[in-house]
Amino acid sequence: MNYNNRKFKAIHNSENGEISNDTIFVYKQVDNVLTCEYTSTDIVKGQLIGIVDDAGNIDMRYQQVNSKGEIRTGICSSSPEINEEGKIVLNEQWKWTSGDLSSGSSRLMEV
């Protein structure tokens, strides 16, 4: 699976997360290296970098500056599925590596 030039929108997130349904992720991929930039109402600037395996699973790290002016960092494991409309849905398990160190889950859908 190749994510290059695909856009994703958050459709679910745990309460302790900062992404919301107005967060748009723009993925770039070269070989198995994935990068992304994202913004939303609560995120001034976000970036991620990851490695994509042969099944499309992503092992990633993210960093972002939120609207409070805080730098937040985390780790995320993402696995893809294809929905009935043929869109990619990413099921994510993440953990903050800054702040309260809590964990959560999110779902992103290709737009």
All structural domains of the chain, each given as residue ranges with its CATH number in brackets, are 7-110 (2.40.128.30)
Q: How far apart are CA 48 and CA 3, in angstroms?
A: 13
Q: Which residues does residue 10 pair with via DSSP β-bridges, in sequence order?
A: 108
Question: What string of pLDDT tens digits covers the 111 residues of the chain?
Answer: 899 999 999 999 999 999 999 999 999 999 999 999 999 999 999 999 999 999 999 999 999 999 999 999 999 999 999 999 999 999 999 999 999 999 999 999 999
Opening angle at CA 35, ends 4 and 32, nearest 5: 65
Q: How far apart are CA 20 and CA 41, in angstroms?
A: 8
